[in-house]
Each structure stands twice: as C-alpha cells, then as structure tokens.
A and B are shown apart, each in its own frame.
Chain A
C-alpha cells in the first residue's frame, strides 16, 4: 500500500475540456482535499468550503469559500448542524458561483460535525440545479466518537444520498481495519483520506488519461445517471510478484465491499485499472474476467484501463457500483450470459493488435443479463457474506446496534494479513 497518490497525475493529461472540481466541505473534507493537492493536476480543480476562517486560511487549496460569516463570524459551526445549515443557506449564491460551469463535482466531506454534515446537502442541492454529475465521498465517524455524531452522520447521509448521483460512505470503523496494527486514531483519519485519494485519483485518471481502454465522461454518467440509490466503492492495489492476482485479492478483501448495508445487487458497475507499461491486454483481460465473474449486475459493466508509464509491475483496481433506489427485482432472464472475458474484448483487441490505439469503451460494453441462480447477490460467493442480520430489526442496546460486530464498534483493529 505504499503506492501513493503523488505520481498519478504526473503524466500530462489528455487534452480534454472536461471540467472536474473536487470540493472539500467542512474541516475533515478540506483536510482530505489538502492531501490531494498535487502538482500538474491539469483540468482538475480543487476547492474548499468551510465555516472556519482559520482552517481555510491554513489550507493550501487555491479556491476557498468561507460560508456563513455573518452567522459564525468565521469561527466554525462548533459541531452544531443548525449553524452549519444556516451558514450554507446564507451563501447559496456564492456556492452556485463556485460550482458553475463544471461537468463533474466530487464532494469530499466528513460527516458527524456541524459544517460538513449540513453544508454538503446544501451544496448538493445547488449543484442539482446545474447539469453537473455530482459524486460524494463521505466519511462516517468512529463509533467511539459517540452516539450524537453518529446520529448526525446518519441523518446527513440519508439526506445527501437523495440528491447526489453517487454517494460513497466510508465508515471510519471499517477503514480502521486497514493499515498497520498500531494505527492510532489520528492515523486512522489519514487512512480515510488515503482511501478517498485512491478513489478520486482512479476516477480522474480514468477520465483524463489515455489508456488501453478509454472511458469517457459519458460512461461515468451512464453508470450514475440517476440520483439516489446506493453506491459501493472498492479498491485493490499490489506491487511486484503476481501483482494481478494480488491486486484482485486485495480488491475483494476490501472492507468497503463487505459492509452489512451493502445493496443486495448492483445495477451498474464501473471498473478502472491503472497499471504500468507492462500491463498487457491479456492481463487486463484476466482482471476483467475475474471481476465480472465475481460481481454480477443487472446492467452494464464498464471497464477502463489506464497506463501510467511511471509504474512498473504495479496495479491498482478501483470499482464503483451503483444500485438504484427502490428497484423492484426483475425476473432474471435465462438468456445465456456472455462474460466479458475473452469475447468482445479479446477479439476487438487482438484484431487491432496494438495497444497504442485505444479501443472505445462502447464496443466493450455488453448488456449483461443476470443469471437465474445469482439473482439475489452481488457477489457470487456472498450468500453468506451478506450481513447476516441485514433484514432483521436493529438490535438496539444503549444507543448501539448489537448486530454490528463488536470489534468495529469498539475500534479494535484486526489485522488479517
């Protein structure tokens, strides 16, 4: 996991007029975006919105917006959602100016406090009036931060989910499970930022770089065409050795793919692979075949593959999946399913027989029908891994849900490697 975000944007980006803006909201969100601030970002613009003037002043981000000066006098929301809400409402116009003329808005927010929890939805509402696609990465507080913050975060995520195209919840309890065993809480916050970094990087690289298999903004929009619904996010990374296998293992071990509230089945998935020059098409094919085998969706699986010349024997896989809201399960058709592996992909590419000429994704996409015996779950072998108590009532005891694993609620770190 030593692969960091630094070198991802180092390559010159392909000429494009796609306008991407990454906005950190509130203290935690701004910190996360600070961590992303890198040279040579090309068309990706970074911004921060906060109620705390001092925190904003300390941030190296160029574009900053202080909201609610008349309400908080620039002193922050003090963990009060009402104040955060009022602050954001009072500066709707300034927010609208900040997000105007943007194609993709990525909101990064830490929920549970006052500013992020309240302002994120206001920003999303303003953004909803534009044509922009809005994705959000939202960290959820540790259980040990207390029931109040957890409650605020839950309310906020419920609201936010309705108005953005894709919302990736990142529970700190779960993220703590990654990283070294002696991760302190402070480090644990940094862990969350690193996860967000990987997701955002992978998205931007996919959209902005030329690759083996190019994905354009249209593909992303096709996956996230509706607001609401649930979004899953997972990444796997590996360097050296049998890096294809290890990156796949890492991906499917990703704790974010194993959360209890994960949707039973996804509608569409976007998979992006970033590798070095040694990542040949046969390896890409292997990855796609494995991913499609282990993830089943009702609709499209969109694949992208990007080459980062600075990498060697290293691979990063990132998946984003979307499950629409209140979808009535359709009777699965018996039509034989052609897994993406080998078929369209290989023939298309072997005919071209060169990877310098990118194959456009639309040729690779297949309408995937769901196999009859897999109509219920996203992961084929997941029957059991699905949060077992998913469909039962919450097991409430003194503000905690006892069905959630104790070790996660207590912030006990479990190292499985």
Chain B
C-alpha cells in the first residue's frame, strides 16, 4: 500500500445506506473525498432482510461515492447494529507471578487473555473487546506495568453479534469485491465523533436513534462501560402514526417530520393539523394531540428501555454521567427529543452537534456513525480501546465466510 489509502466507511442503515470515502495520508491526515447516501431497501430494524435487494442498494451507494471521489476504495470499515448485538462484561484475573510483586507485561497479557477467553456459542461472533481500567488489588490504575500488587485484574466490555447476520453484511461488501477491514458497532462509532475527551472523562451517554434501531453507548471515566441496541427507531414512530391516525405510511412520515413532537402538551388538544394542507380532496384535519400522544408513547418507551438496562447494570449514576445525554441519528431531529430523554432518564440532554471540521452536509446527525467509522480508520482501534486487532478481525471474517 502506498503512502495514502482510501477508506470507505459504510453504514447499512434501516432508512439509508451511507458511504463516506476518506483518504488517509500517513498516520494522521484524513480528507473526506467523497460521500453518498441512498434509501435503504431490504433492511428492517437494522438487519438485512433481503440480501439481494440490500446488496444492490449498498453497491449502488458505494459506486456512487467512488464516482464522486473519482477513486477506488482500498478497504471498508463497516457499522453493525440490530437487536442481535449483545454485550457483556468479563473480568480477567491473574496473580502476579514475580516474587517481588512487580507487574511485568506477561502478567498483563495473561489477565487480558483471561478476560477474553470466554467462548461464545458457534452462532455468535465477537465484534469488540473494549478494555476497561486495570485494577491492582482493587485499586484502579491506567497502566499497571512495573507497579506492585498481588492480584491484577482487567475488565472488558465485550460485544458480540449473531454470526449469520454479521456475515450477511460482510457478504454484501464482499459482493462488490471489497475487503472489510473492521466492523464497529454504530453506537461506538457515533460516540467517537460526537464526544470530546473531556466529556468521555466526565461520563456521557450517547443515544443514536436511527430509522430502525436505537444504539447507545455509555462512557464512564473515559471508558466504554456499556453499549446496547434497542430495535426501535423512527420507522416505529411512523408506523405507530400510520396505524393510529389510519393514514398511509407516507402521510404518517410527513406528519412526523412536519408536526411531530416527542412529548405531548395539553395545548395540543385544541390545535389541528392538515393531512396535506393543500385543499385537495381527501385532505382532512387531525388534532395535534393525536400525533404528539402517539409519538410521546413511543419515544418515552425507547428511553425507558435504555433506562431499565442501565439500572439493571447498576450504571445509571448521574454523577458518573455528568456530561449528560448526547442525542444523534436521524430521529434526533424530532422536535423536543432532548426534553423527552431528560424526562425519562433524569439526565441533562442535548442534540449533539456534528464535528466542526467537516462540511455542513456531513454535520447532520444521520452521518455521525459513518464519520465515526472514518475516525476509527484513522486512529485505529487500539488507541480507542476497542482492542480487536486488524489481524484478528480478518481471521474472524475469514472463518465466517469460509475462505482463507
């Protein structure tokens, strides 16, 4: 590979396939040289439902991006989401081997191996092992090397997915003769571009509400301590409106975008909104209250589920999430979404601003995940504690697809 390489960040989302092309120069320079987005087909709730249809649309998006940038992609970074993705916290423990209790790198390696040793059933594949701080006889330390202790522990937040579903998405990329260099779950990718280091240190909850899924990641003291996927997104809001108001999907979508609000106000009872608003036959009025009540029920349920999951993990500690909630993803455009998040989770919430150093179009919340993928392509996962090494993933992908 020459001095620069072209990385394609691909997110096969429920409502759109987004592709960003980044040119990575040397070790630190990144230029975004092309992008494309097209409406998804064959994807529901973040998972490929129809492989052929989905492939066609992903390939179209990749080709368009390549054409825009007038170059070819060398390697792909792929986002993963869907309810099949689960995570768990595993701790590796080792007794320090040297007689003087000074920790050597062999002890560290052993603790790490121990933590990652847990075997998954054949139907599951690891996507990330995200390292958390070490602990020396119960004291937390960043770097234990050469320190003294009897017992060394290290924790990992390990994320795994359904092998079939993951390999389906890899097959889609392989189908256009590209290699997937790494896959990163959407929440972690989004979190990487949205949060400043200081916000991660103070603790932050990133919630990426997309079309079919809601992906979240919780940072505590700078470390990723939990990720999760709620298989509910903007599509559900639209479907609820369609059923509740008994209108077509298209009209429901329009209501959501034009009149939607994430919470209900009693004043909404007196306000009416028009279906088309153009005085054509079939146009009719709906109470705004109907729309906001339906959306409020759905949106608050999404946040309540996240809340339950954080409480179950004993992680909903406001002082540990001092930076509050950062919302992103297409559905974060919904009016009042930060208020709804705040009401459910009891934390300050804001809609995240995109990174300042990209063009306006890419600063939109829909692009957080793909921008995050490029971020990973640039920095590498090691630094960002997602410690699945490139060699590891290639081997994993190989075994998934039965080649090599």
B298 interface residue, CB < 8 Å from A?
A: yes
A:340-389 near B, CB below 8 Å: 381-385, 387-389
Chain B facing A: main interface SS: helix
With A406-B297, A414-B293: A177-B232 Cβ-Cβ less than 8 Å: no
| Contact between B250 and A415, CB atoms less than 8 A apart | no
In the complex, per-residue mask of A301-322: 1 if CB is within 8 Å of any chain B CB, else 0: 0000000000000000000000
B305 close to A389 (CB less than 8 A): no
The chain A residue sitting closest to B308, CB to CB, is A398
B contact residues, total (Cβ < 8 Å): 32
A407–B240 touching, CB < 8 Å: yes
Given contacts A255-B246, A416-B290, contact A410 B297 (CB under 8 A): yes
| Docked CA distance A152–B274 (Å) | 41
Q: Determine whether the beta carbon of B83 is less than 8 Å from that of A395.
A: yes
Query: Nearest B residue to A259 by beta-carbon distance?
Result: B243
- A384-B242, A388-B239, A414-B290 as given contacts; A407 in contact with B297, CB under 8 Å: yes
| Closest-CB distance, A79 to chain B (whole angstroms) | 28
**Inter-subunit contact B289/A415 (CB<8 Å):** yes
Known contacts: A384-B248, A388-B249, A395-B232. The answer to whether A406 contacts B301 by CB under 8 A is yes
| Contact call B239/A415, Cβ cutoff below 8 A | no
Chain B residue with Cβ nearest A413: B293
Determine the interface band of chain A, counting residues with CB < 8 A from chain B. Answer: 20 to 34
Question: Closest approach, in angstroms, between the C-beta of B209 and any C-beta of chain A?
Answer: 14
Contact flag A405-B298 (CB < 8 Å), given A258-B243, A387-B243, A416-B290: yes
Q: Is the CB of A384 within 8 A of B45?
A: no
Nearest residue (CB) in B for A416 is B290
A184 at the interface (CB under 8 A from B): no
Cβ contact of B294, chosen from A259, A387, A414, cutoff 8 A: A414
CB-CB < 8 A to B293: which residues of A? 407, 412, 414
Query: Contacts A387-B239, A389-B239, A406-B240: A415 and B287 contacting too (C-beta < 8 A)?
Result: yes
CB neighbours (8 Å) of B83 from chain A are 395
B298: which A residues are within 8 A, CB to CB?
405-407
Interface majority SS on A: helix, strand, loop or mixed? loop
Contact B249 A384 (CB under 8 A): yes
Chain A residues within an 8 Å CB radius of B301: 402, 406
| Nearest B residue (CB) for A392 | B44
- Per the bound structure, the CA–CA distance linking A381 and B249 in Å amounts to 10
Chain B positions within 8 Å of A415 at CB level: 287, 289-290
With a CB–CB cut-off of 8 A, which chain A residues contact B145?
A: none
**Could you say which residues of chain B place their CB within 8 Å of the CB of A42?**
none
Cα-based distance from A383 to B251 in the complex (angstroms): 12
Q: Which residue of A lies closest to B284 (CB)?
A: A249
**Residues of the B chain whose Cβ atoms lie less than 8 Å from the Cβ of A397:** 305
Contacts of A259 in B (CB 8 A): 243
B231 contacts the other chain (Cβ, under 8 Å)?
Answer: yes
Whether, in the assembled complex, A12 has its beta carbon less than 8 Å from a beta carbon of chain B, the answer is no
State whether the Cβ of B235 lies closer than 8 Å to any Cβ in chain A: yes
Q: B250 contacts which chain A residues (CB < 8 A)?
A: 384
Task: Indicate whether A403 reaches chain B with its CB closer than 8 angstroms.
Answer: yes
Q: Is A276's beta carbon under 8 Å from chain B?
A: no
Question: Is A416 touching B244 in the complex (CB atoms < 8 A)?
Answer: yes
Residue of B nearest to A249 (CB): B284
Taking a contact as CB atoms under 8 Å apart, the answer to whether A416 and B45 are in contact is no
CB proximity to A under 8 Å, residues B253-312: 286-287, 289-290, 293-294, 297-298, 301, 305
Specify which of A385, A402, A412 is in contact with B246 (CB 8 Å cutoff): A385
**Which residue of A is nearest B83, CB measured?**
A395
Mark out the residues of chain A between 221 and 260 whose CB falls within 8 Å of any chain B CB in the assembled complex. Answer: 252-253, 255, 258-260
A385: contacting residue among B44, B49, B248, CB under 8 A: B248
Q: From residue 203 to 250 of chain B, which have CB atoms closer than 8 A to chain A?
A: 230-232, 235-236, 238-240, 242-250
Find the A residue at minimum CB distance from B304: A406
Task: Give A384 to B293 CA distance when docked, in angstroms.
Answer: 21
Contact indicator B49/A392 (Cβ below 8 Å): yes
The 8 Å CB contact of A405, one of B45, B248, B294, is B294
Question: Which residues of the other chain, A, contact B305 by a CB distance below 8 angstroms?
Answer: 397
Q: Which residue of B lies closest to A402 (CB)?
A: B232
Residues of B within 8 A of A384 (CB): 242, 248-250, 252
A402 to B245, CA, bound (A): 19
> In the complex, A319 Cα to B248 Cα: how many Å?
21
> A389, B248: Cβ atoms under 8 Å?
no
CA distance A403 to B240 in the complex (A): 9
A405 to B44, Cβ gap below 8 A? no
Please report the C-alpha to C-alpha distance between residue A408 and residue B241 in the assembled complex, in whole angstroms.
11
Q: Which residue, A384, A397, A412, has most C-beta atoms of chain B within 10 A?
A: A384
Beta-carbon nearest neighbor of A253 in chain B: B246
Residues of A with C-beta under 8 A to B252? 384
Collect the chain B residues with CB atoms within 8 Å of residue A407's CB. 240, 244, 293-294, 297-298
A389 to B43, CA, bound (A): 11
CB distance from B369 to the nearest CB of A (A): 21
**A383 engages B49 (CB within 8 Å):** no
A392, B45: Cβ atoms closer than 8 Å:
yes
| Complex-state Cα separation, A177 to B232, whole angstroms | 23
Chain A residues lying within 8 Å of B247, measured Cβ to Cβ, are 385
Q: Report the nearest B residue to A395, measured CB to CB.
A: B231
The residue among B240, B243, B286 with the most chain A CB atoms within 10 A of its own CB is B243
A253 CB contacts on chain B under 8 angstroms: 246
A-B pairs, 5 with minimum CB distance: A384-B249, A405-B240, A406-B297, A384-B248, A407-B297
Q: Which residues of B are at the interface with A, using a C-beta cutoff of 8 A?
A: 44-45, 49, 83, 230-232, 235-236, 238-240, 242-250, 252, 286-287, 289-290, 293-294, 297-298, 301, 305
Q: Can you list 22 contacts pairing A with B, beta carbon distance less than 8 Å? A: A177-B244, A255-B246, A258-B243, A382-B248, A384-B248, A385-B242, A388-B242, A389-B236, A392-B49, A402-B230, A402-B232, A403-B239, A405-B297, A406-B240, A407-B244, A407-B293, A408-B244, A414-B244, A414-B290, A416-B245, A416-B290, A417-B287
Known: A385-B243, A406-B301, A412-B297. 17 other contacts (CB 8 A): A177-B244, A383-B249, A395-B45, A395-B83, A402-B231, A403-B239, A405-B240, A405-B244, A405-B298, A406-B297, A407-B244, A407-B297, A408-B243, A415-B287, A416-B286, A416-B290, A417-B287
